[in-house]
Amino acid sequence: MRESVKMRECFLGYSIIIGPGADNYTLQGLSKGTPQPPIHSHARTQNLNLPSPERLSHEVRPAVFVAGSIAVDFSCDYKPATSASPKQPMLQTSNPAAISQSIGGVGQNVARAIHLLKVPVRLCTMIGDDLAGQMARIALDGAKMDTAGVIEKKASRTSQYVAVNAADKGLVVAMADMEVMEKGNGNKNEISQIFENTWLPELLKYAPKQLVVDGNWSSNMLHKWLNAAKSIPTTTFFEPVSTAKAVRIFQRTEQAELGVWPHNTIDVTTPNSYELQAMHAAARETGYLERDDWWRVVDAFGIPSTGARVQLALATSPQLVDAGIPQQSIQLLPFIPRVLTKLGSEGVLLTQIIPAGDPRLTMGEYAPYIISRCSNDSEEAVKVGGIYMRLLPAAERVLEEEIVSVNGVGDTFLGAIVAGLAKDPSKNIEDLVGPAQQAAVMTLRSAESVSPALSGLEWL
């Protein structure tokens, strides 16, 4: 093993593989959001005095579980009064706008994309007993989605999301009320009881191929979902949702800390560049990047002491290296061995651990993307082949006038990735990025948070 205190400090301080400007994050990422037409819910009413809620009359065997939010979305698209008007809405005054209302929420969007791509999926979420909750029921009914995991919580507000978009449809600011998902953070709170009584038994019963968890849950609930997945052979995905919520996965809870590769708790994450920055900062601030088991895996990557800046720049771009995007994704790999960073028009950066014995390590076509190779003989090194990094370009350049809404674009992307892996687990995730980007472009051109046209796709 080549571990040394000096080398470790260099790695953490970016001097080994991170160049100047590492704290300057200026890349655009895909916006979070949601709008969409009606979609179903014979949603079960959760009465905590009745621990066995009423079951749906039909039974669906889901291949994927999505644990996340459903929300009533309001999309406020700024409409400049004249061609000479500012392209951004003015603060502290009323602005002309086109306002639409639909059903969204990150979890619901991801589940809907998976559903449209013809993979059986169960959405595990919560709504309130209010008008917004009734709208969600009607919407879910219209999409014929499996709603056995949708719980109605008494005396609660259904989640709502308000997005204010500029003239070019780019997100200016958003407001999210997700209290029904977040309230309570202890083992005996209401949401924990619902999890233990309803969601956990069904997760164990169906043992889905994939579990997607979004960051709208409290940190405690995130770890409940992820820890439960350890007992079944499933691939876990974490969708960060926003910079504020992305950090929750690294907040220490009574449930346990994240495991490191090859016993990692999370398999795949899909942040944009801002969320990646927030996740990395949180991991560092909470001491995750000081753990000995983290360092042993990092040391097994085989990154030379002279640095890997040239390799990173060749695999991505000097601008991305200056922004610190590749370096931060590498430092998160021991906890999340596949990181798909969404970079908007620049495409998607895939960073992952290559296991020892992976055929790509010896195939010439993949050589440009092997950033480092393991040369150690430690226990961790036996399992690590190296680091694989590839910048996958955008599937299509979309003209500004073609963009209808950015809401739900990233969620559609994730849903398509998950659906592709559910259909063929043997696929390399990079082979699904292009089709998933095409699905995201369809949503970009749609007024809905997930384009209904996905149902006609056959390439996943």
* pLDDT category of residue 460 using cuts at 50, 70 and 90: low
Q: What is the pLDDT of residues 347-371, one digit of tens each?
A: 999 999 999 999 999 999 999 999 9
Q: Which residues of 31-53 are buried (b: 16+ CB within 10 A; e: fewer)?
A: bbbbbbebbbbebbebeeeeeeb
Query: What contacts 220, CB < 8 A, 6 or more positions away?
Result: 185, 186, 187, 192, 253, 254, 255
Q: Check residue 382 and give its pLDDT.
A: 72
Residues 6+ apart with CB under 8 A from 92: none
- Looking at residue 375, its pLDDT comes to 76
Nearest to 457 by CA among 409, 424, 420, 429: 420
The confidence score (pLDDT) of residue 60 equals 63
pLDDT tens-digit readout, 37-50: 333 334 444 443 33
* Residue keyed to tokens 């899909």: 270
Amino acid at site 185: N
Q: In the structure, what pLDDT confidence band is assigned to residue 182 with cuts at 50, 70 and 90?
A: confident
Question: Given a cut of 60, is residue 93 above it in pLDDT?
Answer: yes
What does the pLDDT read at residue 381? 64
Asked if 405 and 431 count as a contact pair (C-beta separation under 8 A), the reply is no
Provide CB contacts within 8 A for 283, sequence distance 6+.
250, 289, 331, 332, 335
At 247-302, the pLDDT tens digits run 999 987 766 789 999 999 999 999 999 999 999 999 999 999 999 999 999 999 99
Helix (H, G, I), strand (E, B) or coil at 222: helix
307: left (phi over 0), alpha (psi -120 to 50) or beta: left
Please report the pLDDT score of residue 399 as a whole number: 84
Question: Which residues, in sequence order, are bridge partners of residue 212?
Answer: 66, 237
Instruction: Provide the pLDDT for residue 209.
Output: 94
214 contacts 247 by C-beta, under 8 angstroms: no
β-pair partners for 126: 151
Q: What is residue 121's DSSP assignment? A: E
Tokens 């601030």 -> residue: 285
User: In the numeric block, which tokens belong to residue 211?
Assistant: 């579990």
* pLDDT(18) > 80: no
Q: Which helix (H) or strand (E) holds 275?
A: helix 273-285
Average pLDDT of span 125-130: 93
Q: Output the six-digit token pair for 355.
A: 């296991």
Pair type for strands 235-239 and 210-214: parallel
**pLDDT tens-digit readout, 46-71:** 443 333 333 433 466 899 999 999 99
Token digits of residue 443: 């949503």
Return mean pLDDT, the chain.
Answer: 85
Length, in residues, of the chain: 460
- Is the model's pLDDT at 169 over the cut of 50? yes
* CA–CA dist 178, 293 (Å, integer): 35
Q: What are the structure tokens assigned to 44, written together? A: 């079960």
**pLDDT at residue 144 greater than cutoff 70:** yes
Contact yes or no for 232/204 (Cβ under 8 A):
yes
Check: CB of residue 119 under 8 Å from CB of residue 86: no
**Residue 430 pLDDT exceeds 70:** yes
